[in-house]
Amino acid sequence: MRVLVVEDDPDLNRQLSNAVKEAGYAVDSATDGEEGHYLGDTEPYDAVILDIGLPLKDGISVLEDWRR
Per-residue DSSP letter, 7: -
What tens-digit pLDDT sequence spans the chain (68 residues)?
999 999 999 999 999 999 999 999 999 999 999 999 999 999 999 999 999 999 999 999 999 999 99
Q: What is the pLDDT of residue 50?
A: 98
Say if CB 56 and CB 34 are below 8 A apart: yes
Other CB atoms within 10 A of residue 64 CB: 10
Q: What is the pLDDT of residue 1?
A: 95
**What is the rounded CA–CA span in Å between residue 36 and residue 13?**
12
Angle between helices 59-67 and 33-42 (to 10 degrees): 20
Strand 26-30 with 47-50, pairing:
unpaired
